Amino acid sequence: MKKIGIIGGLSFESTLEYYKIIARSYNKIVGGAASPNLVIDSLDLQKVTDWFVTDEWDKVLEELVLSANNLIAAKAEVIILATNTPHIVFNELEKKVSIPMISIMDATAKEIKKQNLKKVGLIGTRFTMQADYYPKAFEKYDLEIVTPSPEDQKIINKIIYKELTFHVLNKTSREKYLEVIYRLNEMGAEGVILGCTEIPLLIKQEDCKIPVFDTTYIHSMDVLNYAMKES
């Protein structure tokens, strides 16, 4: 297989999930004691989040380019950004990186298309819910995005940064998320994108009556399939 490079640490909890999904899936496919060839460059979430808040996306991009080059120096042959929000600068990042990168938006959109849906809800950090990078990426797939109300966005965002980032999983927080998902469904959403790679720690398909798209799992499997098919 091609060596996978992961830009991680944003947060480390979701990066752990990426590693487990890729490693366990690879082992299931290959068998024995096989484990995948990959390398992780883990970034400082606090530093990067501070740049989100101050709208310093040029600094975010610079940090991601440096990380990607670290992975290339470690012989990575394909790179993923193991988080949703920094994908705001994905298009610019991809242009500055000399090896293939797998977009979390494209991977998710392709999975949604398999279920013949047209309109899906998006929950994630406030940066993700308020930015246009998901809607723009989904346009070419003829998919419409709906987002929660400003009040619901505050709830979603607070739980991510105060709880999920530290692997704090509360039943009351799960119920709040499910209420937001229900309201998105009432707005016409046929499914919901878990557009923050920590959210799948809390919300599972069995919790919801509409299709749930776990971006952590989808992205992990997409890069693994690429690495194995292109080897």
Catalytic residue among 49, 125, 196, 197: 196
Q: Is 196 considered catalytic here? A: yes
Q: Is 83 considered catalytic here? A: yes
Q: How many CB atoms lie within 10 A of CB 67?
A: 25
Q: Is 37 helix (H, G, I), strand (E, B) or coil?
A: coil
Paired residues of 7 in beta bridges: 41, 81
Catalytic residue among 15, 49, 83, 215: 83
CA torsion angle for 217, 53, 185, 145 (degrees, to 10)? Answer: -80
Helix (H), strand (E) at residue 4: strand 4-8
Express the helix, strand and coil content of the chain in percent, nearest 5 each: 60, 15, 30
* Phi, psi torsion values for 50, nearest 5 degrees: -60, -40
Among 9, 44, 52, residue whose Cα is nearest residue 157: 52
Tell me whether strands 78-81 and 101-102 are parallel, antiparallel or unpaired: parallel
Residues annotated as catalytic are 83, 196
